[in-house]
Structure 1
Amino acid sequence: MAAQNDPALSDIAVPPSNLPELWQATASWFSIHSLQILIAVGAGILIYLALATLRQFGKRFNGRPGDTIGLSHVIGRAVSRTTHFFMALVSARLVVSYASPPPMVLKTVIFLFTIAAVFQAAIWAREIILGLVERKTVGDDIHGETLANAMGLIRLLVTVGLFAIAAVVVLDNLGVNVTGLVAGLGIGGIAIGLAAQGIFSDLFAALSIIFDKPFRRGEVITYDQTTARVEKIGLKSTRLRAMSGEKKVISNANLLQKEITSLHTLEQRRVTFSLGIIYQTPDEKADAIPAILREIVDAEEFHFINAGLVRFGASSLDYELNFDVPQPDQHDYFESRHRVGLAIWKRFKAEGIEFAYPTQTSFTAAPDGRTIMPYPDSVYIDGKRVSPLA
């Protein structure tokens, strides 16, 4: 192009040292490349409008609060967070070379585009991460305030982390040596992590409870020797109400380290009775005990599992009964066990089946070692002396 040999352009090739020279170089550029500048501006506006249309299209996939969030919703949400500053710089970067700008203008556009692209990438990454997290919690109103606090904290941590990385990238593109800065941030992060290790441990445990859902508020759980109803899941601790009425507070990290049994999802709950009868029970009555127990359970409209002799005790024949109580949330487990236990006691009493209790028999020996009856030589009945063996 003939304009490349223009003396005015040769002056533009050297960055002006002061504002008058910069103004003169810019004016010369406008006068020489006015048509190219107009075409570039028009193309830039079209690119900006296309990006704005794409941004508006992404808003359609955001969904409404409470809706099921899919990957399309997450991507649409990220696209809808595209900033106008980024769209304008993208348009300028794509068309600036066509207008043959002065080096200082080109360098400025590239620099601003780099900043806009880095921070826009951080915004997109934040929205994608938060969108994926919300996929695990949308429509879950069980945790209430805890979930809102957790999401606020996650948003803060993700935002600070991503924008800190973006700032480091921008500084590195400016030619700043960020090695010392990154090392300092790393050491500072380690120090803060060690100082707040317990807090972060409980915090991440709370997030694990919220997202993994091993149990929820209102459920009855058992851990160690405690059975309690979950009242509140906080960011540091979980509050429970024991069956005996006491309020229990346990840290989230400590709670997740235990074996937890949730009674909420049970369709039925197993009840076990251990029964001991005396060895003197007649054979036919000992044989009939499983059938008797089944009749009692069926009469109470519970689900009979099994019953039978399980061991020979020190002073009793030990039987075991297993049955299930359906819908344990609607039926009082303890009341059901009481009713069946009382029915067993009444039925055994009517059948003449005696419950065993610890007994001990003593044998008396003579001086020569012979076993003798532990009775006196004679007893009196109605005033008459009779033999004890009579």
Structure 2
Amino acid sequence: MNAAQPLPNLPNVSVTWHAVSGWIEVHWLQIAISVAVGVAIYFGLRVVRRTVRKRLVSPVHGTQFKEVIGRTVARTTHSFMILVAARLVAGYADPPVMVLTTIKFLFTIVAAFQVAIWAREIIIGLIERRTNADRHDTLANAMGIIRLLVTVTLFIIAAIVVLDNLGVNVTGLVAGLGIGGIAIGLAAQGIFSDLFAALSIIFDRPFRQGEVITYDQTTARVERIGLKSTRLRAMSGEHKVISNAQLLQKEITSLQTLAQRRVTFTLGLIYQTPMEVLERVPAILKEVAESCRLTFVNAGITGFGASSLNFDLNVDVPDPDTHDYFMSRHRLALAIVARFNAEGIEFAYPTQTTLTAAPDGTLIMPYPEFLPASSPGKAKS
């Protein structure tokens, strides 16, 4: 058989080998130049990766944005750099279709997974940067779960992209993954609800570990934020456990972030208090509050009670700590009692006045207005 004639009966491998051999014999110089340029590109990419890692990544694991970029670049694989170099120089030597197709095929696979690796490093780095202020066991456990979920999700997407580029119909696969995800989500609805609530607490930070919070009628200090539940220590000493999802559904007041806390006293004075004294009461309360090193807000009559004239006193306690807040309120109450006693101001208490009426409806005294003195003779008898 003449070498110039086609070889229709040869196996595909033989045809490919003859085509490659002929290409190498004809284009050996272009191939040598392409290989040299490809090797130079590969080592250039290695130098860039090493330089970025050296300048941007510190020995101590940091969370600055430049370090996130540095760690992302450092995760570039050798296979990706080799295939990038091969893809850039492949067209210069006019390779056979099979060689060019093989390079494109390998480049597609490696590039898809390399992008997944980069995306994982950026997402994890940004999450760590967001939560840099919080370092505790819950965050470490949550980061492990987040890393797993992000890795699995990104690599599944990369695999689907590779299959789609290879001409595989991935519609059924995507639908199957979606149905499976829905089934898993419904089966573990409670677990995922508490897990995402824990992540919300960690990232949104409505409160932190060690802070004092109030929810419903409970005031407690946060001892530990878990992936399923939060453990608190009530001010009265009880150990309370509440699921994260249920806790976030409540109105939460964080007492730790308060620069000051408001104290309101309601004082009842008797109706017989002179008018000039009533006018002086707000000024007296202001002096008492300032003597206790509290911030006076306002004071005045707020209502007429059944047995008292009601005054409200509002002051701010500068220290938000629960114990100091309680003791400041105690000292203020003692100071008010002492000052009112010194001023002769009386506190009211529930009283009743009984009036006696004659048959015609006029009021009469319940006892004789004048009792005549008894005569000596009657006294002796």
Per-residue CA distance 1:67-90 (angstroms, 9 max, x = gap): 4512x3333322221111111111
- Inter-CA distance 383–344: structure 2 relative to 1 (3 Å threshold): farther
Confirm or deny that 1:89 pairs with 2:86.
no
Partner residue of 2:46?
A: 52
Aligned residues of 1:15 and 1:103 also touching (Cα < 8 A): no
Partner residue of 2:379?
A: none
Partner SS for 1:332: helix
TM-superposed CA distance for 1:23, in Å, is: 4.2
Distance 2:273 2:282 in 1: 14
Distance 2:347 2:166 in 1: 90
Return the letter of the residue paired with 1:82.
T
- Inter-CA distance 197–93: structure 2 relative to 1 (3 Å threshold): same
- Inter-CA distance 383–193: structure 2 relative to 1 (3 Å threshold): farther
Alignment of 1:255-294 (within 5 A): 255-294=247-286
Confirm or deny that 1:133 pairs with 2:127.
yes
Partner residue of 1:388?
A: none
TM-superposed CA distance for 1:351, in Å, is: 2.4
Superposition TM-score, scaled by structure 1 size:
0.87
TM-superposed CA distance for 1:261, in Å, is: 1.4
Partner SS for 2:25: helix
Deviation larger for 337-346 or 157-166: 337-346
Return the letter of the residue paired with 1:128.
I
Per-residue CA distance 1:63-110 (angstroms, 9 max, x = gap): 45464512x333332222111111111111222222333332222211
Per-residue CA distance 1:30-65 (angstroms, 9 max, x = gap): 333322221111111011112112222331323454
Alignment of 1:142-161 (within 5 A): 142-161=134-153
Confirm or deny that 1:176 pairs with 2:171.
no
Partner SS for 1:149: helix
Return the letter of the residue paired with 2:56.
F
Distance 1:205 1:229 in 2: 19
Confirm or deny that 1:233 pairs with 2:242.
no
Distance 1:281 1:115 in 2: 91
Return the letter of the residue paired with 1:55.
R
Distance 1:381 1:329 in 2: 69
Distance 2:60 2:144 in 1: 16
Q: Given the alignment, which residue of 17, 21, 27 partners 1:33? A: 27
Return the letter of the residue paired with 1:253.
A
Aligned residues of 1:143 and 1:233 also touching (Cα < 8 A): no
TM-superposed CA distance for 1:360, in Å, is: 2.1
Matched positions, count: 373
Partner residue of 2:56?
A: 61
TM-superposed CA distance for 1:197, in Å, is: 1.9
Alignment of 1:246-257 (within 5 A): 246-257=238-249
- Inter-CA distance 379–109: structure 2 relative to 1 (3 Å threshold): farther
Superposition TM-score, scaled by structure 2 size:
0.89
Per-residue CA distance 1:314-343 (angstroms, 9 max, x = gap): 210111111222223396111111111112
Distance 2:283 2:9 in 1: 104
Q: Given the alignment, which residue of 52, 69, 75 partners 1:75? A: 69
TM-superposed CA distance for 1:17, in Å, is: 2.3
Aligned residues of 2:299 and 2:314 also touching (Cα < 8 A): yes
Q: Given the alignment, which residue of 99, 102, 105 partners 1:105? A: 99
Confirm or deny that 1:118 pairs with 2:108.
no
Distance 1:137 1:238 in 2: 18
Deviation larger for 340-349 or 95-104: 95-104
Per-residue CA distance 1:114-172 (angstroms, 9 max, x = gap): 1011111111111121222122112x2x4411111111111111111110011111112
Aligned residues of 1:222 and 1:228 also touching (Cα < 8 A): yes
TM-superposed CA distance for 1:241, in Å, is: 0.9
Distance 1:383 1:270 in 2: 69
Distance 1:16 1:118 in 2: 36
Distance 1:15 1:235 in 2: 66
| Structure 1 gap segments, 5+ residues each | 1-5, 385-390
- Inter-CA distance 15–108: structure 2 relative to 1 (3 Å threshold): farther
Partner residue of 2:213?
A: 221
Distance 2:188 2:374 in 1: 90
Confirm or deny that 1:352 pairs with 2:347.
no
